[in-house]
Amino acid sequence: MKRFSQIIMLASVVAAGTGCNKFLEEKNPSNFTQDQFFTSAEQATAAVNELYADMRFITDGAGTYGESPFLLLEYPTGLSESPEAAQSIYNGTLRTLTSDNDNNYFYSWWRGCYKAIANANLSIKRIPGVPMDSVARKQLVGQAYFFRALNYFYLVRIFGAVPYQVEPITGPNDPNLTLGRSSVDSIYSLIVSDLTAAEASGLPNTDNTGRTSLGAVKSLLSSVYLTMAGNPLNKGAEYYKKAADKAAEVINGNWYTLFASYDQLHNQADKNKGEFILQSNYSVAANINSTLCAYMIPRGKGTSNFSDEYGLLRPTSAYFKSYEAGDKRTQERQFYYTKAPLYKDPSQTVEFGAPYLYKYYDAVAATSSTPQSDINWTIMRYAELLLIYAEAANEANGGPTQAAYDAVNQVRRRAGLADLAGLSQQDFKEAVWREKYHELSFENKIWFDMVRTLKVYNTDKGTFENFEGFTFTYGPVLTKKYELFGIPRREIDNNKNLQGHQNEGW
């Protein structure tokens, strides 16, 4: 079956191509219009399947050597020591906070999210009219609502006010292609509305096949409420309570559990199970390969059979040392590793000279004669939800409850750390923030927390300091400009309704 994005493209061409003489027109039965395509359950399912495929843009390559959109949310945290990053101007300028709005990652996120939103809009509009089982139809529409919300959640946190697009695109001259920016508040209202609709769509509590579930919807909604409680909306206690209540629904449902071993985070047999609430899926069998493992393997050390070893992310020395003494996550081959066997002679051990990220290591792919990896990218896992609940409950109740302690201490116990106890509201909040820094490292979470709280972890001192004016260990200084990223230059050039409305400082 053709990829659904191709079908949309063909439909646009058909809609635009009305100027030919009748005797020159040919009908191609493989070219679908929007009206022709949504006529069966199989086609409706194919449309929603494309929404899952759309999410792979986050970790697929973008541009030249060693570039991928997920790095947009890692280099500006100041937590990566990346000598190989300089091979890419986009990586290097993000790490040194010298980027401009020509950075290709800005456009990759804008384009990738709006492509998914366009496909979701089409499914939301057309699938209700498809003759098929009513339960399955409702669930498909619910999945489309979920993905529209997820992509807008990325956009509003990365760019702030963005175009509010909820109608299908009918062709290249559709006015929905050149909308102006809508308020941040209106985008969040849409996100909440979409997730509420997804909650009511009859999705199963969990799903081990890689599809979204009621657990994923509620978990994302909890994260949305937590974000709305902080910067820039600052809705406060009411939304902290909403976040805590929504997370509690998932926790009390016993739908997920922490893995017993950190190895399971990259064990192929554990994909979409246990701790994983939602992942972006890859499959070697379907020739859909992931570059995550190769991105993280130290460059030029010869410890794998990948033709390219990028070594793109490794923790700064201060970040690595900021973990508590005895934390299992810093032990060899847990979250990080400092050595590995030489691929061509496994009896020889290669010392890296610094810790590199092990979270995305694929042992089978790295040592295969034909290295192809299908390690998944995790959009959300249960450890994050526990920490969301702990922070939100603490803020909503004016201090930590026993349930809040239980949530954060589950994460700490797995790391071999002592339980938190007897903390003030402020101390507990910062302890949970610190836990998020150490548990969710290099998972595209820390940057969003920095902007939401307007606080940054000083890894040398173990304290939290104001976002604006914070100095990274290697020199760059955060400014208010970086509370948002720049609207891509090519979008502004092509859309008169965006001109003159760039984010501050870009």
Report the pLDDT value the prediction gives residue 3, as an integer from 0 to 100.
Answer: 40
Q: Does the 234-281+379-469 domain belong in CATH 3.30.450.20?
A: no
Query: Cα(486)–Cα(481) distance, rounded to whole angstroms?
Result: 9
Report the pLDDT value the prediction gives residue 82, as an integer from 0 to 100.
Answer: 74
Report the pLDDT value the prediction gives residue 33, as an integer from 0 to 100.
Answer: 65
Query: Cα(1)–Cα(49) distance, rounded to whole angstroms?
Result: 11
Q: Is the pLDDT of residue 30 over 80?
A: no
Q: Calculate ∠ Cα 457-461-465, nearest 5°.
A: 40
* Percentage of the chain modeled with pLDDT above 70: 92
Query: What separation in angstroms does the CA of 26 have from each of 14, 16, 394, 474?
Result: 11, 15, 65, 62
Query: Cα(478)–Cα(469) distance, rounded to whole angstroms?
Result: 5
Give the contacts of 416 (CB within 8 A, at least 6 positions apart): 326, 327, 328
Report the pLDDT value the prediction gives residue 409, as an integer from 0 to 100.
Answer: 98
Q: Calculate ∠ Cα 41-46-49, nearest 5°.
A: 125
Which of 17-21, 325-329, 377-381 bottoms out in mean pLDDT, i.e. has the lowest? Answer: 17-21
Q: Is the pLDDT of residue 25 over 50?
A: no
Q: Is the pLDDT of residue 465 over 60?
A: yes
Report the pLDDT value the prediction gives residue 307, as an integer from 0 to 100.
Answer: 84
Report the pLDDT value the prediction gives residue 37, as an integer from 0 to 100.
Answer: 84
pLDDT band at residue 35 under the 50/70/90 scheme: low
Q: Calculate ∠ Cα 359-360-364, nearest 5°.
A: 120
Upstream peptide bond of 128 is cis (omega within 30 degrees of 0)? no
Residue 282 near residue 373, CB atoms below 8 Å: yes
Report the pLDDT value the prediction gives residue 370, as an integer from 0 to 100.
Answer: 85
Question: Does this model's pTM top 0.85?
Answer: yes
Report the pLDDT value the prediction gives residue 85, as an integer from 0 to 100.
Answer: 57
Report the pLDDT value the prediction gives residue 6, as an integer from 0 to 100.
Answer: 41
Report the pLDDT value the prediction gives residue 63, as an integer from 0 to 100.
Answer: 73
pLDDT band at residue 309 under the 50/70/90 scheme: confident
Q: Are strands 377-381 and 345-357 parallel, antiparallel or unpaired?
A: unpaired
Query: Cα(34)–Cα(36) distance, rounded to whole angstroms?
Result: 6
What integer is the mean pLDDT of 190-204?
98
Q: Is the pLDDT of residue 497 over 90?
A: yes
Report the pLDDT value the prediction gives residue 12, as an integer from 0 to 100.
Answer: 34
What integer is the mean pLDDT of 440-444?
98
Domain chopping of the chain, boundaries: 4-15+28-203+486-494, 234-281+379-469, 283-375
CA-based nearest residue to 57, from 276, 384, 380, 288:
288
Report the pLDDT value the prediction gives residue 61, as an integer from 0 to 100.
Answer: 80
402-411 pLDDT, tens digit per residue, is: 999 999 999 9
* Percentage of the chain modeled with pLDDT above 90: 85
Report the pLDDT value the prediction gives residue 368, as an integer from 0 to 100.
Answer: 87
Residue 438 near residue 457, CB atoms below 8 Å: no
117-159 pLDDT, tens digit per residue, is: 999 999 999 999 999 999 999 999 999 999 999 999 999 999 9
Which of 21-30, 35-44, 276-285 bottoms out in mean pLDDT, i.e. has the lowest? Answer: 21-30
Report the pLDDT value the prediction gives residue 64, as an integer from 0 to 100.
Answer: 73
CA-based nearest residue to 51, from 210, 261, 289:
210
In CATH, which of 1.25.40.390, 1.10.150.20, 3.50.4.10, 1.20.1630.10 is domain 4-15+28-203+486-494?
Answer: 1.25.40.390
Residue 62 near residue 111, CB atoms below 8 Å: no
Q: Is the pLDDT of residue 65 over 80?
A: no
428-439 pLDDT, tens digit per residue, is: 999 999 999 999
Q: Is the pLDDT of residue 17 over 70?
A: no
265-303 pLDDT, tens digit per residue, is: 999 999 999 999 999 999 999 999 999 999 999 988 999
Residue 73 near residue 447, CB atoms below 8 Å: yes
Residue 502 near residue 101, CB atoms below 8 Å: yes
Query: Cα(454)–Cα(174) distance, rounded to whole angstroms?
Result: 38
Report the pLDDT value the prediction gives residue 369, as an integer from 0 to 100.
Answer: 84
Q: Is the pLDDT of residue 109 over 70?
A: yes
Q: Is the pLDDT of residue 18 over 80?
A: no
What are the tokens at 97? 């906070």
76-91 pLDDT, tens digit per residue, is: 999 998 776 557 889 9
Give the contacts of 456 (CB within 8 A, at least 6 positions apart): 78, 450, 464, 465, 466, 467, 470, 478
Residue at token pair 């690595």 = 320
**Enclosing H/E stretch for 350:** strand 345-357
What are the tokens at 198? 């997804």
Domains 4-15+28-203+486-494 and 234-281+379-469 fall in the same CATH topology? yes
317-353 pLDDT, tens digit per residue, is: 999 999 999 999 999 999 999 999 999 999 999 999 9
Q: Is the pLDDT of residue 29 over 80?
A: no
Please spell the DSSP secondary structure of 291-347, one letter per residue: -HHHHHSPTTS--S--S-------B-HHHHHTSPTT-GGGSBTTTEEEEEEETTEEE
- For the chain, the straight-line distance linking the first and the last C-alpha, in angstroms and rounded, comes to 42
Which of 71-85, 183-197, 312-326, 482-496 bottoms out in mean pLDDT, i.e. has the lowest? Answer: 71-85
Q: Which long-range contacts (CB under 8 A, 24 or more apart) does 39-45 make?
A: 39/130, 39/131, 40/130, 40/131, 40/132, 41/130, 41/132, 41/133, 41/136, 41/137, 43/130, 44/123, 44/126, 44/127, 44/130, 44/132, 44/137, 44/140, 45/140
Average pLDDT taken over every residue of the chain: 92
